Amino acid sequence: MDRTMRATMFITKSIASIIITLLALGGCSSEAPNTPAPVAAAKAVPLTTEPAAIAWFEGDIEAAFATAKKQNKPLFLYWGAEWCPYCKELEANIFIRDEFVRLSRQFVPLDMSNGDSETIRYADEYKIYGLPTVIVFSPQRDELTRMPGGIDMAQYVAVLELTLNQIRPVAKLVAAALAGESLSDSDWQLLANYSWGQDRGQALGEDKPTDVLMQLRDAAPASDTLLRSRLALAAMEVWLSQEEETRDPSLASVHVAAIEQILADSTLAQANLMKLSGYGQSIVELAQGEQQLALQENLSKLCKSAVENAEANLLNRASVLSGWAEVATVLLAEGESPAPDQVVWGKRQADALVVQLDTYQLHAGVNSLWGVYFDLGLIADAKQTLQLGIDRSKAPFYFMSGMGYVELDADNNEQALAWYRKAWEATRLPLDRTRWGRGYVRRLLNLAPDDLLEVERAGSLLLADMASQKGGLNAYAKPIAQLDESLEEWSADSPKRQAVAVSLRARMTDPG
């Protein structure tokens, strides 16, 4: 099972609106991990002192916009979360670097990772559908660009310097390119490093975003094969993010052909390593027959070579190893075990990486590595790694949910529910409490449908917690509607369940 599906089982990564994102979240993202730094980046050295710190703006988003306008600086808006592995990867790889901290002083940086229900309104307004999301605004409040969650330091610096030079917003660049206008190299560089998977209609429009990206790829300079490869992968990424029944099936072969072309060029393959490994399972599944086997072999070789590069960034190696495990096991029949040599190699690599994780790498690293063990059938090792996250992470509830998933996969429903409840009870921030509370209640309805006392207790506590937050129940209108729908389905054929559902519905409206 791929990392997105595995995470969906215990943190519901994919969503349809921002409220669901923050309470039952993707992008940490509804997509595969944003393209992080190439694995050839500088080797991560365990930190022994406190890293440099960004001088985050103290105040709300409106005050930040006002300050940006007054100081004539762009606004750097960061959406993350304490529990989000890819946010922690971004923070560990980029935000603590001295060069990034120095550059951040030319912006008004605002961290929206406060877990307050007040952030829902702004997340909805700016269409934040996955975490992490970074948006750069002009001093005049125009959105300039969205940045992937972990491009390397050089790319981050390049994109931010472009925004300092007041380059046109990405939406205007897309319109110009599609109209046949000539774009500068800087324009194309911004397009190459835009977070297309998190665009959500901002620059691509709502109609046929995949087609728009393919048109951009064709409009890009023919000599810039790296740019064209990134736009081709972005087109595939956006296509895969759509509901399967809404996709144009004829594009599957187009995307596979684009992947084959990238893999045939070692330079392009290395430059797109993180995206290829993150989508490796989906790529193999798109192909057919011998083509499928060839893609699996080539992707596996690419990933293995990167993982074995001891000079590469530790978190990137862990992420690529996770992608390798998904690719290596994607074609196995149900109940079939991976080849012994694959298990031995994968375990050896995971064992070596997990012991190197420092405090800043722990959360993201554990998230990648427990899944490697799980995919290889090494359940005891997966649990041991999750326990490491529970013991040492600042967001242990995230890995408690992982334990729940492991037990659920083994049909140990009672143990799974116990872990999901522990995860909810371990949360602290309001958005985390409501998010994990909803996850627990939803699973309770499915796994223990006749435990009426627990359903009413958990549901009542969840709704009371929502009501106590700023904005009250109105801030959670969509999640409450989803809960109502789940209760209706759960209680349809049982008068006793209907009585509990009626009791909970009475709590779904703010008094007065």
Q: How far apart are the first and last CA of the chain?
A: 47
Read off the pLDDT of residues 98-153 as tens digits, 9 standing for 90 and up: 888 888 999 999 998 866 656 667 777 888 877 888 899 999 999 888 887 656 66
Of 136, 166, 196, the position where a domain reaches its end is 166
Residue with more model confidence, 183 or 158: 183
Read off the pLDDT of residues 47-73 as tens digits, 9 standing for 90 and up: 444 556 899 999 889 999 999 999 999
Rounded Cα distance between 330 and 285, Å, is 8
Read off the pLDDT of residues 432-457 as tens digits, 9 standing for 90 and up: 898 999 999 999 999 999 999 999 99
Of 135, 166, 197, the position where a domain reaches its end is 166
Residue 496: inside a domain: yes
- Among residues of the chain, what percentage have pLDDT more than 90? 61
Average pLDDT value for residue range 487-497: 95
What is the β-pairing status of strands 143-147 and 75-79? unpaired
Of 99, 134, 166, the position where a domain reaches its end is 166
pLDDT at 118: 60
Instruction: Name the residue range of residue 11's domain.
Output: 1-166
Number of domains making up the chain:
2
Residue 199: inside a domain: no
- Is the separation of the CB atoms in 309 and 318 below 8 Å? no
Read off the pLDDT of residues 401-416 as tens digits, 9 standing for 90 and up: 999 999 999 999 999 9
Residue 458: inside a domain: yes
Residue 345: inside a domain: no
The helix (run of H) or strand (run of E) holding residue 79 is strand 75-79
Residue 448: inside a domain: yes
For residue 156, pLDDT over 50 is answered with yes
pLDDT at 69: 95
Average pLDDT value for residue range 91-99: 84
pLDDT at 426: 97
Angle at 96 between CA 93 and CA 102, to 5 degrees: 120
Rounded Cα distance between 424 and 489, Å, is 23
Instruction: Classify 72 in phi/psi space as left (phi over 0), alpha (psi -120 to 50) or beta.
Output: left
CATH of residue 62? 3.40.30.10
Residue with more model confidence, 471 or 22: 471
pLDDT at 49: 47
Average pLDDT value for residue range 477-486: 92
Rounded Cα distance between 445 and 484, Å, is 12
Residue 249: inside a domain: no
Q: How many helices (H) and strands (E) does the chain have?
A: 26, 4
For residue 284, pLDDT over 90 is answered with yes
Read off the pLDDT of residues 356-396 as tens digits, 9 standing for 90 and up: 999 989 999 999 999 999 999 999 999 999 999 999 999 99
- Backbone phi, then psi, for 143, in 5-degree steps? -75, 120
pLDDT at 116: 62
pTM of the prediction?
0.85
Q: At 271, is the pLDDT very low, low, confident or very high (cuts 50, 70, 90)?
A: very high
For residue 16, pLDDT over 60 is answered with no
Average pLDDT value for residue range 241-263: 93
Q: At 81, is the pLDDT very low, low, confident or very high (cuts 50, 70, 90)?
A: confident
| Count of residues in the chain | 512
Residue 482: inside a domain: yes
Residue 281: inside a domain: no
Residue with more model confidence, 22 or 474: 474
